[in-house]
Structure 1
């Protein structure tokens, strides 16, 4: 490389990103703006950038799936604290969830990679702690991703069979029927998620459009067609002022426990982070998509809470209905049969779209982690299909694990319900680890991307961390205590989430710390030395640097202050 070409090369330090690469690492001068950003993060472009702000938002809004998410988790939102907990709980939870979303968006702008939070945790952690932070963040986030599609599709299958029950009162869904139907939906989603990126983007655009239309139709139809009598709507004093505590805890704790509905429903806004390598202008478009998803989703979700709170007739009857699906039972209470069936059908359509969005996001996370060697046989799961240019192997890997999880259906509603709790708590932990590190360890040295919170970055991040610290133990509480509790009513979140994370931690102590050193770059940089960075693949060193001077040994990632954070 001659002096002229070297003079025109940009370096990592000139890009608006925070990278695992330290020092004056050159960037290919012929790359596009998006390719420069990704190359500065240490990765070569492997996907076509066919997602935009709108289509990234479409995937995340599909993953959010307000209508099917609300329908699937109605048991928690309405069953724990009644209508007062629903309407007030959603507002309070959304304020803090928005803090988490905005803090995550700031990280996404600074580090727009498929690895997302896992990459951010590795870069921002104090010297020597990067690999462990990445390891825990990555596995917790993967628990979220891997449980999302099975839990959503279980809810969709339950609604389909509940719709049959509404029209055929003699029919009662059996566990094996729910299982087989859920598996069939999983396989459909796997085929769709294996398609080329452009087709997936179009599919999710249609799905999100349907989600928004169906949500608006439901919001209008329920109060308009409600056949309640004397009075037609629940008095406002009861809706806003009554906490119907169905737990063994004080009212305040019951309201906090009902937040699982909000948290699980709103846990899909990280999808644009994981799709950032397929999005054009990613360090601006992807964070905007995150904030749009959380903001629009939170507002529309609150309207849905209000509509249900003002129209529900009997909460206990809806929760314990033989239909096996509280939302279907609620619709049957307040609407004529044909109208209830029609709205349930719209919810099922949205649920199908949501499950597919979850499958796409999860496959990208699995691909990113496999690319860095986190899984056994990672080389196979990280392959990109030459025909579709998508991580097909990762899609089917996730599908197989998801189908295995669905055997929890045969353990009863409490057992399969653990998937929802795990999805909520695992997401919160993964979302917050890099935010916590940024706020309390990096502070003002954080190198912001084009989209940032400015002077509000620290307080908003601190609020996000405080909320998560409060909610993690709350999400593990059982509904009943003492003699009222039993194995069939126990909250198994601690076991279903805690056991895998304990195994992951033991794996780290015994073996993984020897070979896992955080994100690995997959691009040949002209580094100023042979042993590139700790946790990054080694490449042959040039004989001398570009100016003809002798090469110098670089700083190793995790052992010295990263100049990107200054």
Structure 2
């Protein structure tokens, strides 16, 4: 629903854009007045999920892990297989997004789809989504700070990176992203459009350089090369761990869902944004993955480097070209962190609107000047900073804190899809899967359960404090806190998504 340029509907209904009426009516029917400005078109909605998935950031951050857990065989064919599974998850989520196009997204739809205990389903989904997004923002920006220091070290060899400097750079990045998100949603949309082209052109430049410049590439059969350096003797276990490379990359596509209240024709454009983001990321990511794999020269040298994909660039292209391409990677990570914060802000705004967060009246307020939830933006910046601070003393401590990122997000994805699967009278929106809705949802939930088990299993042997997978502990801590909080006070005051009145009543509350 774009901003109204005509009088309110009660005075002159015939001059109001019908698209505005459709979007308004959908939101009002769900019990909410319009507080956010609709400036996201179909491309903008796609752009935010495509930016958060961010193939350049995801692949460069986790490629080294995949080189040890399965090698080229899993990096390539695992990417293809997991991408297909994620498409099922995206399709199932898209169907729900079409039915409930709100900023609350996952937690809102969980509350509406549950047959009983709507408040509890909504509560746990909302907090899993919140901590997952906060962890994602922290991890992405910490990775960006790490790569920035890698670039500085390449440029000035005397520079010595320290954990304290990494935390400081991360804090500066969070500040800049918060400032960008503070201004109008139009600026956010423009930045996300730029990020799409940055990713696509950057991918073409990196792939082109890796394809055309080196005088040597691996043979076609190298795609079948298998490596298991995880420390576990079972090759199949090492290979299954390698699937996490793709799973780590394909997170955050719920961003399109969270931006529903700022998207025109959200019942169609939000689910399309989810599916397009996953599809385009799958194709472009595979191309980038192939380029990196076939450019490897000395596997042992690259895999033992502090940043294996950067070492691959240096070995294949030389220091100067590698530095230039590293700037593309850093830019992609910064765009990813920005989009992550935008999505997190909208989830905070909606969760607070329903009274589920401490200080809710603060976080769901909207600036009259920018029409953005400014206070929620700064909360979305402060929380990742809190998670990053343990990295000042220990990288292991930081890893333990943010390890709930992917597990929390995928569990939040699974809950509404699982509840839709149980519901026989699901009221589908304009974008739906028809009779394939339930089979697709069943496959999606099954895959999420399998991948979440992998996320929580040991990922290296021998198991030490530094190599221990803290995801189960981090998840347990979140669930324990949410459960204690729920039974202590929340269940008395939070019953799930709140309705502000009848459609005609909430229409009168619209922020024009």
TM-score (norm 1): 0.83
Taking the aligned partners of 1:525 and 1:164, their CA distance within structure 2 comes to 56
Contact 2:133 2:344 in 1 (8 A): yes
Equivalent residue in structure 2 for 1:209, among 192, 197, 204: 197
Q: Which residue of 2 aligns with 1:394?
A: 376
Contact 2:207/2:291, CA 8 A, preserved across alignment: yes
Counterpart CA distance in 2 for 1:411 and 1:30 is 53
Q: Answer yes or no: is the 8 Å Cα contact 1:109–1:451 preserved in 2.
A: yes
1:325 and 2:307 correspond: yes
Is 1:374 paired with 2:352?
A: no
Alpha-carbon distance in structure 1 between the residues aligned to 2:228 and 2:208: 26
2:206 is the counterpart of 1:222: no
RMSD between superposed Cα atoms in Å: 2.1
2:416 to 429, 434, 448: 434
Provide the residue aligned with 1:122 in structure 2: 111
Aligned to 2:34: 45
Partner of residue 450 from structure 1, selected from 426, 430, 438? 430
Among 34, 44, 58, the alignment partner of 2:47 is 58
* Aligned position for 1:299: 283
Equivalence for 1:544 = none
1:55 and 1:204 in contact (8 A); partners too: yes
Q: Which structure is higher in RCO with an 8 Å CA cutoff and minimum separation 6? A: 2
What is the distance in 2 between the residues matched to 1:287 and 1:428?
Answer: 17
The structure 2 residue matched to 1:287, chosen from 258, 271, 274, is 271
Q: 2:464 aligns with which of 468, 481, 486?
A: 486
Distance 1:259 1:418, change over 3 A: farther
Instruction: Give the C-alpha shift of residue 206 in structure 1.
Output: 1.3
**Counterpart Cα distance in 2 of 1:64 and 1:459:** 25
**Is 1:498 paired with 2:454?**
no
Point out the structure with max Rg over C-alpha.
Answer: 1
* Structure 2 residues not aligned, in runs of 5+: 1-8, 10-17
CA distance in 1, matches of 2:128, 2:210: 38
CA distance in 2, matches of 1:247, 1:270: 35
The TM-score normalised by the length of structure 2 is 0.91
Quote the Cα distance in structure 1 between the aligned partners of 2:490 and 2:240: 37
Query: What residue is the counterpart of 2:366 in the other structure?
Result: 384
CA contact (8 A) 1:415 1:492 kept: no
Per-residue deviation at 1:509?
2.3
Distance 2:95 2:193 in 1: 25
Give the aligned partner of residue 106 of structure 1.
95
Unaligned runs of 5+ in 1: 1-8, 10-28, 528-535, 540-566
Matches for 1:6-17 after TM superposition, within 5 Å: none
SS of residue paired to 1:32: helix
1:39-438 alignment runs, 5 A limit: 39-126=28-115, 128-226=116-214, 232-248=216-232, 250-321=234-305, 324-418=306-400, 421-438=403-420
Q: Which moved further from structure 2: 389-398 or 332-341?
A: 332-341
Name the SS for the 1:475 alignment partner.
helix
Q: 1-side partners of 2:403 and 2:84: how far apart?
A: 20
Separation in structure 2 between the aligned mates of residue 56 and residue 428 of structure 1, nearest angstrom: 20
Residues 265, 190 of structure 1: CA spacing in aligned structure 2 closer, same or farther, 3 A cutoff? same
Please report how far the alpha carbon of residue 473 of structure 1 lies from its aligned counterpart in structure 2 after TM superposition: 1.8
Structure 2 CA distance for partners of 1:263 and 1:287, relative to 1, 3 Å: same
Query: How far off is 1:456 after superposition?
Result: 1.3
Describe the shift of the 1:521–1:249 C-alpha distance in structure 2 as closer, same or farther (beyond 3 A). farther
Structure 2 distance, partners of 1:222, 1:244, is 25
Q: Shift of the alpha carbon at 1:437? A: 1.2
Distance in 2 (CA, whole Å) between partners of 1:316 and 1:149 is: 32
Q: 2:491: which partner in 1?
A: 513
Partners of 1:432 and 1:468 within 8 A in 2: yes
Name the CA shift for 1:420/1:295 in 2 (closer, same or farther; >3 Å).
Answer: farther
